[in-house]
Amino acid sequence: MKFSEYKYERPNLEELKAKFESALKVIKESNSLDELVKTIDEINKIKGDVDTALTLCSIRYSINTNDEFYEKEQEFLDENSPVISSYINEINKALVATPLVGKLEEKYGKKLFDSIRLDLTTFSNEIIEDLQEENKLCSRYSKLIASAKIPFDGKILNLSQFAPYTTNVDRNVRKEAEAATAKFFEENEKEFDDIYDSLVKVRDRMAKKLGFENYIPLGYARLGRTDYDSEMVKNYRKQIYEDLVPIVNEMAKEKGKRLNIKDMKSYDFNLEFLSGNPKPKGNAKELVEKANKMYHEMSKETGEFFDFMREHELMDLEAKEGKTSGGYCTFITNYKSPFIFSNFNGTSGDVDVLTHEAGHAFQCYCSRNITVPEYIWPTLEACEIHSMSMEFFAWPWMNLFFEEDKDKYLFSHLAGTITFIPYGATVDEFQHEIYLHPEYTPKQRKEAWRKIEKKYLPFKVYENEFLDKGNYWLRQGHIFSTAFYYIDYTLAQVCAQQFWIKNQENHEKAWEDYYRLCCAGGSKTFLELLKVANLKNPFIDGTVKYVANHLKEWLDNVDSEKIK
């Protein structure tokens, strides 16, 4: 079946309730392990049906937010998925309370039940209305972002379509592009502020109803973080500030010299070279053909995976009207199918999609047959290791995509993986500040953002008054949709950079570690998965410095004069 033939079916709430109540009765009353296992299998089938519906609706609505059918279905699911969560919550309570829980842990693994116990702290029927409100607010943000129709260069553009202008060699074009996108956010500032203000307050309210001091520990629990906490993340950010920010500051000055710009501004940093950033050669169809060649040469497993993605039409790659911004990979449970969503825009980011999102897709393709559904995906910071590492494993094929600009791409890609990390720390520290102070006004939030931004990105100078007031973060969807997620990208980047180092030393060993990590799925915690892949722990002092120094040494040995 092609993706277009995958069947969406709205969950029948009455049937679901009856099935969950029947399963709950068995779990509470049965003394038979076999009967419990059979019931868990039935529950997993029900959950698979629900998850498939949620995912298909989400994909199809994000592809076309003007589709009235899926808009209404998304509204229905936003309203009712918390109700379904309440049924699953009751099942989970009964599972950890059964006298046979020890036997179930032996069969399914202790991690599943540790995750269930943590998950139970994140839900009660008392917060159903709050969860419904949160869902609606997140959908409202996505629709607002997708609504952007900005006149520029004689065209009407959405936000994703501005990327080529932000990397234009003409400085005035870059400046005007930044101003045009900033104007969209300024014109809609009150609505963005209202959405976020409501999100902060509803999340804080949920946390307090559930017995937490504030939203921070609840946010961590909702992300399934069982083996690290906010204090460990704080120390990790300290490493970034002390060991990485000075290097990134130096790289910013070097970029200014490379571009012959003495007064670098915020709109200059997306440009890497005076001759222009490396651009992929070919349209979307041609890039997919090149990716096909790459994955078939990379390994037997990646070749099979990419054939599966193409045969089932599991990629929607090009930007178009009504399509929400950004890129993602998700998994359609009943069809055991990853799906890649993106907005191609003619920049090197198009190739990054075919490596980054394909890394996510490859991982869940490798683990799609794990019988415990909760083990198909790991937690988010581990997921990002697969995607970011795949970007590095794709390096030997970058000549296919960039031809004579290959060296420019490799330099800018590796440099970008370093310079990104302080930005990720900015997003994370900002969110901790906000949820510690849910009473902040929009103005206070923006002042907090600008203060933290100056700490980690001291070189970032705005000419645009709206951005200089601390409004850049309004375009960072993760801050709205999934609080505390963004630091995961940086944790994963430090791990992926280790794969880059390992790959330089011994490709076979590096790939073996990577493939083993992908196949493990979410069967272990983040820190346990690092051991599976033979990776250093980013929370331990010295790890960030070790990685940064290796990468900086490689960049210093590149004669950037030859590729500028």
The pLDDT of residue 561 is 67
Among 437, 429, 428, smallest CA distance to 485 is for 428
Predicted TM-score of the model (pTM): 0.89
Q: HEC states along 465-484?
A: HHHHHHHHHHHCHHHHHCCC
Asked if residue 142 belongs to a domain, the reply is no
Q: Is 151 strand, coil or helix?
A: strand
DSSP state of 39: H
Name the strands in the sheet holding 337-344, side by side, starting at the edge strand that comes first in the sequence. 315-318, 337-344, 328-332
Asked if residue 529 belongs to a domain, the reply is no
Asked if residue 188 belongs to a domain, the reply is no
The answer to whether the beta carbons of residues 219 and 380 sit under 8 Å apart is no
What is the tally of structural domains in the chain?
1
Asked if residue 104 belongs to a domain, the reply is yes
Asked if residue 113 belongs to a domain, the reply is yes
Cα–Cα distances (Å) from 117 to 93, 122, 372, 403, 515, in that order, read 8, 9, 16, 52, 30
The pLDDT of residue 558 is 87
Among 415, 414, 418, 461, smallest CA distance to 244 is for 418
Could you give the angle at the alpha carbon of 353 between the alpha carbons of 169 and 305, nearest 5°? 150
Pull the structure tokens for residue 307. 């054939």
In whole angstroms, give the CA distance from residue 38 to residue 405: 57
Q: Which residues contact 378 (CB under 8 A, 6 or more apart)?
A: 520, 521, 522, 524, 526, 529
The pLDDT of residue 559 is 78
Pull the structure tokens for residue 227. 């083996």
In whole angstroms, give the CA distance from residue 311 to residue 318: 18
Q: HEC states along 360-401?
A: HHHHHHHCCCCCCHHHCCCCHHHHHHHHHHHHHHCHHHHHHH
pLDDT tens per residue across span 459-486? 999 999 999 999 999 999 999 999 999 9
The pLDDT of residue 321 is 87
Pull the structure tokens for residue 234. 């704080």
Asked if residue 483 belongs to a domain, the reply is no
Cα–Cα distances (Å) from 121 to 49, 199, 211, 383, in that order, read 25, 20, 9, 23
Q: Which residues of the chain have pLDDT under 70?
A: 560-561, 564
The pLDDT of residue 560 is 67
Structural domain boundaries, residue 54: 3-134
The answer to whether the beta carbons of residues 60 and 69 sit under 8 Å apart is no
Q: What is the CA radius of gyration of the chain?
A: 24
Among 295, 281, 268, smallest CA distance to 409 is for 281
H or E segment to which residue 150 belongs:
strand 150-152
Write the DSSP string, 173-214. Answer: HHHHHHHHHHHHHHHTHHHHHHHHHHHHHHHHHHHHHTT-SS
Asked if residue 285 belongs to a domain, the reply is no
Q: Which residues pair with 329 in a beta bridge?
A: 340
Asked if residue 425 belongs to a domain, the reply is no
In whole angstroms, give the CA distance from residue 306 to residue 300: 10
The pLDDT of residue 51 is 97
The pLDDT of residue 16 is 95
